Amino acid sequence: MNGLSDADFAGDAIMLKGMVFYGHHGISEAERRDAQKFLVDVTVTYPLQAAARADDLSLTIDYGGLYDMVKSVILGPSVNLLETLAENIAGKALKHYSGAQKVRVRVKKTQPPIKGDLRWAAVDIERGR
């Protein structure tokens, strides 16, 4: 699966899939020194009916703001684990968007330090209130 499927959540959701960032995360010195490509998918379950009826951005989640939040985590301070990146993204989203019911985050590292043939390594977490 390349991203989160629409069936991953029941109900209303805002989704950003395939965000690409270059960050400095990992256990080894080389991973922290040299920028690596990270792919991020985020799905936030959020009641969308009021925003749709009123056609009002203030009643929903601004895609640009959510993107910038994810970007700030990936471009922020180095961490060792993909799990930490995903947890930080989910925590920020739940804190910032009080109407969010749950958040699902997938973080992929496209060139993990593994001697072998693979497309990516990833973590996928779901957090709720």
How do residues 1-38 score in pLDDT, each as one tens digit?
A: 344 444 444 589 999 999 999 999 999 999 999 999 99
- Classified by CATH at the fold level, domain 6-128 comes out as GTP Cyclohydrolase I, domain 2 (3.30.1130)
Average pLDDT, the chain: 92
How do residues 67-89 score in pLDDT, each as one tens digit?
A: 999 999 999 999 999 999 999 99
Write down the residue that tokens 């001697």 correspond to.
115
Region 94-99: mean pLDDT is 96
Q: Is 17 a catalytic residue?
A: no
High-pLDDT (> 90) share of the chain, %: 88
Parse the chain into domains and list their residue ranges.
Answer: 6-128
Instruction: Name the token pair of 51.
Output: 């925003």
DSSP-derived secondary structure for 9-61: SSS-EEEEEEEEEEE--SSSHHHHHS-EEEEEEEEEE---HHHHHHT-GGGS-
- Is 60's pLDDT higher than 50? yes
Starting from the edge strand earliest in sequence, which strands make up the sheet with 36-45, in order?
13-23, 36-45, 102-109, 121-128
pTM value is: 0.89
- From the list 37, 71, 109, 115, the catalytic residue is 109
